[in-house]
Amino acid sequence: MFSLRDKIAVVTGGGSGIGKAISKLFAQQGATVHVIELNADAAQQTIDEIQSSGGHAFAHSGDVTNQQQILQVFQSISKIDVLVNNAGIAHVGNVEKTEEADFERVYNVNVKGAYNCLYAVVPIMKSNGGGVIVSMASIASSVGIADRFAYSMSKGAIHAMSMSVARDYLGDNIRSNSISPARVHTPFVDGFIAKNYAGREAEMFEKLSQSQPIGRMAKPEEVAALALYLCSDEAGFITGCDYPIDGGFIKLNN
């Protein structure tokens, strides 16, 4: 079950965290994985790890905010069965602490970046008889998260775009869903804590972990497992849905 053999998958932001876990799992399940990543060294590390385990993967240095660059990368891959829109950045601050430059930076990467990839991949999938798209939203697209104004805006847009694509391309055999994680333990989280809470790292890690009712953060591999299911043939009847993976955050924190 959940085989991706003979499938070609594109994962944006596959150099670390959730994107890296997805890339490695998809390759393990038989997909040829194309990692699009701004950090070329990080992308190559993911590729090296996949290839050392006998998988097939390729790295593409790409900026998701640059439409022409993304179009060229996607057209060079040609046949694409699966797209995971994962590339994204965060910003801490309420609306008063979100400068125009902050807002535009988050919008350009998280919203425009996902749009650029959708714009590039849909014609390819149509010409190849269909495909599957999974876009990484967040619990912030469903509930209010303190001091995440711009980030929440961007993830709400991801959710809405994912649903729109699902509706528009039902007849083209293209499935589109989104995943909404709560906090996931990634290098970004460790870096954020180290930068903002120097000397209190362990305390803040525990506090952030306990903010999930289940008592811990998610592992990137757990999000990857959900993405694998949604991109597999076993999920062929699923489109236009958002899947929280949140340790009970949305339903049990109220």
Burial readout 167-190 (b: 16 or more C-beta within 10 A, e: otherwise): eebeeeebbbbbbbbbbbbbeebe
24 plus 117 within the same structural domain:
yes
- Lowest-pLDDT range, 87-91, 116-120, 160-164? 87-91
178 plus 201 within the same structural domain:
no
99 plus 203 within the same structural domain:
no
30-75: per-residue pLDDT in tens?
A: 999 999 999 999 999 999 999 999 999 999 999 999 999 999 999 9
Q: When comparing pLDDT for 196 and 103, which is higher? A: 103
Q: Is 253 part of a structural domain of the chain?
A: no
- Structure tokens, 203: 């305390």
Q: Is 1 part of a structural domain of the chain?
A: no
Band (pLDDT 50/70/90 cuts) for residue 124 is very high
Half-sphere exposure of 66 (CA within 13 A, CB side): 11
DSSP string of the chain, one letter each residue: ----TT-EEEEETTTSHHHHHHHHHHHHTT-EEEEEES-HHHHHHHHHHHHHTT-EEEEEE--TT-HHHHHHHHHHH---SEEEE-------B-GGG--HHHHHHHIIIIIIHHHHHHHHHHHHHHHTT-EEEEEE--GGGTS--TTBHHHHHHHHHHHHHHHHHHHHTGGGTEEEEEEEE--B--HHHHHHHHHHSTT-HHHHHHHHHHTSTTSSPBPHHHHHHHHHHHHSGGGTT--S-EEEESTTHHHH--
- Quote the number of domains for the chain: 2
- Structure tokens, 128: 């190849």
72 plus 55 within the same structural domain:
yes
pLDDT surpasses 70 at 142: yes
Q: When comparing pLDDT for 211 and 24, which is higher? A: 24
**Structural domain containing residue 203:** 185-217
CA-CA-CA-CA torsion for 101, 103, 108, 112, nearest 10 degrees? -150
Band (pLDDT 50/70/90 cuts) for residue 215 is very high
Q: Which residues contact 216 (CB under 8 A, 6 or more apart)?
A: 209, 247
pLDDT surpasses 90 at 187: no
What integer is the mean pLDDT of 9-21?
97
Report strand pairing: 56-61 vs 174-181: unpaired
151 annotated active-site: yes
103 plus 76 within the same structural domain:
yes
190 plus 233 within the same structural domain:
no
The Cα–Cα gap between 134 and 227 comes to 7
- Which CATH number fits the domain that encloses residue 117? 3.40.50.720
Q: Is 51 part of a structural domain of the chain?
A: yes
Q: Is 170 part of a structural domain of the chain?
A: yes
Half-sphere exposure of 15 (CA within 13 A, CB side): 19
121 plus 224 within the same structural domain:
yes
Q: Is 42 part of a structural domain of the chain?
A: yes
40 plus 83 within the same structural domain:
yes
Q: What percent of the chain has pLDDT over 70?
A: 100
Band (pLDDT 50/70/90 cuts) for residue 188 is confident
Q: What percent of the chain has pLDDT over 90?
A: 91
Q: Give me the pLDDT at residue 226, please.
A: 98
192 plus 81 within the same structural domain:
no
pLDDT surpasses 90 at 192: no
What integer is the mean pLDDT of 120-125?
98
Band (pLDDT 50/70/90 cuts) for residue 168 is very high
- Lowest-pLDDT range, 80-84, 93-97, 185-189? 185-189
Q: When comparing pLDDT for 35 and 188, which is higher? A: 35
Q: Is 145 part of a structural domain of the chain?
A: yes
73 plus 87 within the same structural domain:
yes
Q: Is 196 part of a structural domain of the chain?
A: yes
Q: Is 2 part of a structural domain of the chain?
A: no
Residue with tokens 């499935």: 175
Choose the catalytic residue: 107, 119, 151, 169.
151
- Lowest-pLDDT range, 8-17, 111-120, 175-184, 196-205? 196-205
43 plus 106 within the same structural domain:
yes
Residues, the chain, total?
A: 254
Q: Give me the pLDDT at residue 254, please.
A: 59
Half-sphere exposure of 243 (CA within 13 A, CB side): 21
171 plus 196 within the same structural domain:
no
The Cα–Cα gap between 71 and 133 comes to 17
What integer is the mean pLDDT of 206-217?
93
